Amino acid sequence: MENNNNLENKVVETEENMDPLLKSSKEVHPLSDDEQEDDEEVLDLSKVEEEETILSHWPLLTALLILLVMLTLEFGFKFQPAFPLNLIIYAIAFLLAGYNVLGMAFRKAKHFDFFNEFFLMSVATIGAFSIGSYSEGVAVMVFYSIGEWFQDAAVNKAKKSIKALLDIRPDQVTVLRNGNPEVIDPKKIVLDELIQVKSGEKVALDGILDSDSATFNTAALTGESKPDTKRKGEQVLAGMINLDKVSQVQVKSLFKDSKLSKILEMVQDATARKSQTQLFISRFAKIYTPIVFALALIVCFAPCLFVETYDFHQWFYRALVFLVISCPCALVVSIPLGYFGGIGLASRNGILFKGSNFLDVMTKINTVIMDKTGTLTKGVFKVQEVITQDFDQNELIRLASAIEANSTHPIAKAVVEYAGDKAAGLKAENVEEISGHGLKGTIEGKVIFAGNAKLLKKFNIAYPSDVDALVDTIVVIAVNDKYAGYITIADEIKEDAKQAIQQMHDLKIQTVMLSGDKQAVVDKVAKALGIDQAFGDLLPEGKVEKVQGFKDAGNRIAFVGDGVNDAPVVALADAGIAMGGLGSDATIETADIVIQNDQPSKITTAIKIGKITSQIVWQNITIAMVVKVIVLILGAGGIANLWEAVIADVGVALLAILNAVRIQKMKL
What CATH number is given for 379-493 in this structure?
Answer: 3.40.1110.10
- E strands along 178-218, which residues? 180-184, 194-197, 207-209, 213-217
What is the C-alpha to C-alpha distance for residues 295 and 433, in angstroms, rounded to an integer?
88
What are the residues whose beta carbons fall under 8 Å from the beta carbon of 552, sequence distance 6 or more?
A: none
| Helix 312-325 and helix 642-665, axial crossing angle in degrees, nearest 10 | 0
Q: What pLDDT is stored for residue 50 in this prediction?
A: 45
Q: What pLDDT is stored for residue 163 in this prediction?
A: 55
CATH 3.40.50.1000 domain position(s) in the chain: 351-376+494-596
- The answer to whether 140 and 120 have CB atoms below 8 angstroms apart is no
| Helix 329-348 and helix 134-163, axial crossing angle in degrees, nearest 10 | 20
What is the C-alpha to C-alpha distance for residues 203 and 241, in angstroms, rounded to an integer?
6
What is the C-alpha to C-alpha distance for residues 305 and 296, in angstroms, rounded to an integer?
16
The residues of the chain scoring below 50 in pLDDT are 1-55, 165-166, 223, 270-271, 582-583
- The answer to whether 576 and 318 have CB atoms below 8 angstroms apart is no
What is the C-alpha to C-alpha distance for residues 601 and 223, in angstroms, rounded to an integer?
13
CATH topology for 169-260? 2.70.150
Q: What pLDDT is stored for residue 601 in this prediction?
A: 92
CATH 2.70.150.10 domain position(s) in the chain: 169-260
Nearest to 635 by CA among 323, 318, 328: 318
Condensed to tens digits (0 to 9), the pLDDT of residues 83-122 reads 889 899 999 999 999 888 899 889 988 888 877 778 877 8
Q: What pLDDT is stored for residue 94 in this prediction?
A: 92
What is the C-alpha to C-alpha distance for residues 563 and 547, in angstroms, rounded to an integer?
16
Q: What pLDDT is stored for residue 584 in this prediction?
A: 52
Q: How far is CA 523 from CA 470, 506, 518, 637, in A?
A: 13, 22, 9, 70
Condensed to tens digits (0 to 9), the pLDDT of residues 12-28 reads 332 333 333 233 333 33
CA angle 611, 616, 619 (to 5 degrees): 125
Q: What pLDDT is stored for residue 588 in this prediction?
A: 66
Nearest to 11 by CA among 347, 357, 337: 337
Catalytic residues: 371
Beta bridge partners of 236: 207
DSSP result, 374-435: TTTEEEEEEEEEEEESSS-HHHHHHHHHHHHTT--SHHHHHHHHHHTTTTTT---EEEEEET
Q: What pLDDT is stored for residue 260 in this prediction?
A: 60
- The answer to whether 223 and 181 have CB atoms below 8 angstroms apart is no
Q: What pLDDT is stored for residue 526 in this prediction?
A: 94
Q: What pLDDT is stored for residue 443 in this prediction?
A: 93
Q: How far is CA 666 from CA 68, 465, 612, 641, 660, in A?
A: 37, 57, 10, 38, 11
> Is this structure's pTM higher than 0.75?
no
CATH 3.40.1110.10 domain position(s) in the chain: 379-493
Torsion on CA atoms 407, 412, 417, 423, rounded to nearest 10: -70
351-376+494-596: which CATH number, 3.30.200.20, 3.40.50.1000, 3.40.50.2000, 3.40.50.280?
Answer: 3.40.50.1000
Helix ranges (DSSP H) in 5-57: 7-11, 20-28, 33-37
Q: How far is CA 329 from CA 158, 187, 239, 620, 661, in A?
A: 17, 42, 38, 12, 16
